Structure 1
Amino acid sequence: MIREKRVTLNGQQSTAVHSRKNPILIFYFLFFTFLSCNSPYTPKPTGYFKIDFPEKKYQEFNKPGYPYTFEYPVYANVIKDSTFFDSSTENPWWVNVDFPQFNARIYLSYKIIGQYKLDSLLNDAYNLTNKHSIKASFIDDSIMHISGNVHGTFFKVEGDVATADQFFLTDSTKNFIRGALYFNATPNQDSLRPVNNFLVEDMKHLVNTFRWK
């Protein structure tokens, strides 16, 4: 409520304005201010960039002198692996399947049974996978039987680990190969999941088309 009061100053009239605030309005103002300051905070979920995936098309890797063949995506490159932790590879048949668009790589390391015992190669494959058990929520292994005397195990490791998908293939008599998918990035299961799922399909296609020569 506003009212005017006329007063005389030095023989001149002036108007003084007085304001009387409504106590009910003050109460509601303070009440809603209190509620707004104490309302629960809900953080926004972490967002990630949308990724455009290429169409799946495959080509054959079948170079002379290699003891195996397989199919790999047209958006990947097969590169000979000449070093292993700054040392030379033990034979010339180690290769990497590079995915430049996704900053990822499938390492393929080949071993000759005879130079190594099969039991030793199998134990190494399981031990290398189990090294991730500290950060893994669980590890799932699936037995695989593929035509052409190709069989092995596919490992799925859940959690923020360096490589979530690995496998080994063998004919149990002469040939043994191990594969592992790595990303050149800090392990983060949530951010890498879409790309990892996309590339695992290519990894499984590689396995299903793998043949010994």
Structure 2
Amino acid sequence: MDKRNLICLLALVLMFSACRQEGYTPKPRGYFRIEFPEKAYKPYTSDCPFSFRIPVYANVSADTSANARPCWMDVAFPGFNARIHFSYWPIQSGKMLYQLVEDSRDLAFKHTIKATAIDEQLIIRPEKDMYGIVYNIRGNTASSLQFFLTDSTSHYVRGALYFHEEPRIDSIRPVLEFIRSDIDSLIASFRWK
């Protein structure tokens, strides 16, 4: 074998042996670790006809959008880039209540395109004049949780949780579960004045 063939053979052996990478596995995309604050709550009251408890790491501000009405507000979770949008409607007739409930259902089910499931949890507490539905919306949707509460005669409140991030349920799930317990506390403590 001459020198030129030996060099070509050696180059081929090195080229084929260099392509083997045994044991290599690409690493999945990582996310930042989130430090959750300790759960603690404070009462929220205003001139609106309702009150409730909010976490100490959240704050309430009036809705400043162009179509905002009295008692529309946002409960912001600045550490998590999340917000619950609240809208309040005084009920003037049974027909109006029916329309508000249907609107709430329609707004929740608009997420059907991206949702993998929408679960409904009924709220029936006649001793507190509290009725409503919590919509748990699963999947990569803009809003993961929505609800409405009413006394069925005079008051109606609707809330929708939004993360101001691109909806990736894998990355939001720990925060969603953390805030979900805060929303459960808010609903449990909700009172009409």
Using structure 2 for the length normalisation, give the TM-score: 0.86
RMSD, aligned α-carbons: 2.5
Quick check: 1:145 aligned with 2:128? no
Rg bigger for which structure? 1
The one-letter code of the counterpart of 2:184 is: K
**1:94 matched to 2:72:** yes
Residues in 2 aligned to 1:193 and 1:153: alpha-carbon distance in whole angstroms = 21
How do 1:168-183 residues align onto structure 2 when only pairs under 5 Å count?
168-183=148-163
For the pair 1:52 / 2:35, whether they are aligned, the reply is yes
SS where residue 133 of structure 1 aligns?
A: helix
Of 141, 164, 170, the match for 1:184? 164
SS in 1 for 2:20: helix
Looking at structure 2, the residues matched to 95 and 205 of structure 1 have their Cα atoms a distance apart, in angstroms, of 18
Runs of 4+ in 1 over 2 A off after TM superposition: 33-43
User: How many angstroms does 1:102 deviate by?
Assistant: 1.0
Please name the residue that 1:14 is paired with: none
Q: Which has the higher contact order (CA 8 A, sep 6+)?
A: 2
Question: Please, what TM-score do these two structures have when normalized by structure 1?
Answer: 0.78
Q: State the distance in 1 between where 2:19 and 2:87 align.
A: 61
Query: Tell me, what secondary structure is at the counterpart of 1:192?
Result: helix
Which has a greater percent of strand? 1
**Bigger helix fraction:** 2
1:130 Cα deviation from its structure 2 partner: 0.7
One-letter identity of the residue aligned with 2:81: N
Secondary structure of 2:107 counterpart: helix
Show structure 2 runs of 5+ residues with no match: 1-8
> After superposition, where does 1:115-154 map in structure 2 within 5 Å?
117-146=96-125, 147-154=127-134
The alignment of Structure 1 onto Structure 2 pairs a total of residues equal to: 184
Distance 2:98 2:84 in 1: 24
Identity score, percent: 43
1:161 partner amino acid = T
